[in-house]
Amino acid sequence: MDRRRWLTVAKAALDPQVVANAVELACRAPSVHNSQPWHWVVEGGALKLFFEPHRVPHATDLSGREAVISCGAVLDHLRVAAAAVGFQADIERFPNPNDLDHLATIWFSTLQLVTDAHRARADAILDRHTDRLPFAPPPSWAAFEPVLRSTIDTDKAVLHVLPDTVRPQLAEASRLTEALRRYDSSYHAELRWWTAPYEVTDGVPYSALVSASERDRVDVAREFPASEHPDRRPEIDHDRSTILVLSTYGDSRRDALGCGEVLSDVLLEATMAGLATCTLSHLTELEASRNIIRALIGGGYEPQLLIRIGRVPSIAQVAPATPRRPLADVLEFRG
């Protein structure tokens, strides 16, 4: 199909309600401190994704790198949501070299067939949530890992599966990060702001936090303010998750966006396999701890984030869905 004809099909496909539904589902994507630093604009027959710098938690994310990774995750979630209702998303990344906050423009064409896998992946968006409690080891990892790798775009990010033997170094990197920030009042004030109980559209809700005793059973984790929950999941006496690192070949904004797209892929694939996940970004925020991760993965890669993957009891209580900004705040129709 030539470009002109393809654009005609794309413009005809942009039914406002379909776009609104897809964006609303996509915005279930994870983001640093659930800050949701994105804005969508429908204009000229296309959907555009913009980065919102004012929503970056700057004491945590000094360069805005994690916020751009978050936008990459929402971009891939959008692609998944669109496919489930019959549309293929053709994504042009950074279409305006003079405006790097314009992360992507998406055109749509009609898919020939919506498969059960397309629908299951979109369902996984609603099932996925960040679980900060300890995990049991993921079953049949040797069978799951090649399936996971087969879905990853290795031009965007590289997946490293860390062996259990390096767990002490990971725990040390996690403790080092927290120790270096012990007296950083701006960082701790920011954490408390994003976990404040009165926030209803963004931030980390109380139900998603862990108590001090629960936190003691997870050796690689960010130290959020402790909750007062009764001890949950006591049958797992310490975290036995498999830990992955997503790294990139460079450290540019484009690299961060691509890493976020791969993050979305990993989280959804794990969810479809019935596994729990928790994204860890604190180990790559400070150079000292990031260097430890660099040494563990080798090869001159830039580590961007880590992911804990594991199994939780089938009877485990699922936490309420984390809040999201109203659709009217994140989606704008122009013209």
Q: What is the pLDDT of residues 176-206, one digit of tens each?
A: 999 999 999 999 999 999 998 876 899 999 9
Tell me what the mean pLDDT of segment 204-231 comes to: 93
The reported pTM is: 0.95
The H or E element containing residue 91 is strand 87-93
Tell me what the mean pLDDT of segment 13-21 comes to: 87
Please tell me the predicted confidence (pLDDT) of residue 12.
45
Q: What CA–CA distance (Å, rounded) separates 159 from 170? A: 16
Residue 207 above 50 pLDDT? Answer: yes
Residue 255 above 60 pLDDT? Answer: yes
Residue 6 above 60 pLDDT? Answer: no
Q: Which amino acid is at 330?
A: V
- The label of the residue with tokens 């890669």 reads 301
Tell me what the mean pLDDT of segment 137-146 comes to: 97
Alpha helices in 216-252 (DSSP H): none
Tell me what the mean pLDDT of segment 280-304 comes to: 96
Q: What CA–CA distance (Å, rounded) separates 2 from 46? A: 17
Q: What CA–CA distance (Å, rounded) separates 268 from 151? A: 11
Architecture of the domain delimited by 3-129+324-333 = 3-Layer(aba) Sandwich (3.40)
Please tell me the predicted confidence (pLDDT) of residue 314.
79
For residue 128, give both structure tokens.
């996925």
Residue 228 above 90 pLDDT? Answer: no
Please report which confidence band the pLDDT of residue 9 belongs to, taking 50, 70 and 90 as the band edges: very low
Please report which confidence band the pLDDT of residue 316 belongs to, taking 50, 70 and 90 as the band edges: low
Q: What CA–CA distance (Å, rounded) separates 52 from 302? A: 24
Alpha helices in the chain (DSSP H): 3-13, 16-26, 65-84, 116-127, 141-150, 167-180, 185-194, 212-215, 253-272, 287-297, 327-330
Tell me what the mean pLDDT of segment 30-57 comes to: 97
Residues of the chain with CATH 3.40.109.10: 3-129+324-333, 141-310
Q: Look at residues 270, 248, 251, 249 and name the one whose alpha carbon lies nearest to residue 259.
A: 248
What class, spelled out in words, does domain 141-310 have in CATH? alpha beta
CA-to-CA separations, 156 to 35, 256, 261, 294, 325, in angstroms, rounded? 23, 9, 8, 18, 28
Residue 302 above 70 pLDDT? Answer: yes
Residue by residue, DSSP assigns 280-324 as E-GGGTSHHHHHHHHHHH-TT-EEEEEEEEEB--TTPPPPPPPP-
High-pLDDT (> 70) share of the chain, %: 95
Please tell me the predicted confidence (pLDDT) of residue 198.
74
